[in-house]
Amino acid sequence: MEEKEIIERLENLENKLRFYQQLGAGFLVAAQKKPTDEGKLADELVGLKTEPETRPFQAEEWEKLIRRIRDCHFCPLFQGRTQAVPGEGNCQTKLMFIGEAPGRDEDWQGRPFVGRAGQLLTKIIEAMGFKRQDVYITNVVKCRPPENRTPRPDEVKACSPYLLRQIELINPRVIVSLGKIAAEFLLQTNKSMSDIRGHFGEFKGIPVMPTFHPAYLIRNEGNREIKRLVWEDMKKVMKLLESS
């Protein structure tokens, strides 16, 4: 087997083991202790990544990243923005919420989820037993697309290194993806939200719960079933956080 292929397989294994451990299946990590070189390397890799809470937070790296987002001119969206919206909240949190892109209010204030959808998200977070400042809230794309249109694939691609680095530095226990764009990006799927919501996927070993975007709930304000489904999804997230 080629060295590159072995490394890829071990990386996949590492991600899967971490994911299962997050779901409470720690025994699977112990089961990987094999006397082979491949087994040893897998154990070392897993050992490095399965104790994220002991890793010191890289505050300087975080500050540098936020400055780079604020100054970014990397894709055409910078032309129409008032300001970039990196995200806000606790950057050492266990729980991250990731939406699509800033809207008009967010662009104006430089903060994510501050309009009506944001107020609803805050209520959901509080119903889960957290304060808004306990979690980290951001978007896949950091600048407002014109007329609040859906970000284009090239814009998502251009902006994605920032989100990837945010996830890497925060290293949350669970991510909640809000709406189709975030789910597509994190879970690499183009299935409908109705098909994927309510089931944990994974992003680099981190459990991801896809659910409807709060703006969708507002657009369907009279539909209590959608609200119920979102709450079911959040209960699964709470259960996973309690068990980890």
Which residues sit at the interface with ligand SF4, rule CB under 6 A?
Answer: 69, 72-75, 77-78, 84, 141-143, 155, 158-159
We find the least distance from the C-beta atom of residue 127 to ligand SF4, in angstroms, to be 31
Residue number with CB closer to ligand SF4 (69 or 208): 69
We find the least distance from the C-beta atom of residue 152 to ligand SF4, in angstroms, to be 11
**Dist. CA 39–CA 47, nearest whole Å:** 12
Measured in whole angstroms, the distance separating CA 124 from the mean position of its chain's CA atoms is: 17
DSSP 160-204: HHHHHHHHHHH--SEEEEESHHHHHHHH---S-HHHHTTS-EEET
Residue number with CB closer to ligand SF4 (77 or 124): 77
We find the least distance from the C-beta atom of residue 142 to ligand SF4, in angstroms, to be 4
We find the least distance from the C-beta atom of residue 70 to ligand SF4, in angstroms, to be 8
Strand order in the sheet with 88-89: 88-89, 136-139, 95-99, 174-178, 206-211, 201-203
We find the least distance from the C-beta atom of residue 122 to ligand SF4, in angstroms, to be 24
Residue number with CB closer to ligand SF4 (84 or 95): 84
Residue number with CB closer to ligand SF4 (77 or 181): 77
Residue number with CB closer to ligand SF4 (39 or 161): 161
* 85-to-73, 101, 105, 181 alpha-carbon distances in Å: 13, 9, 11, 17
| Four-point Cα dihedral 8, 23, 182, 114, nearest 10 | -140
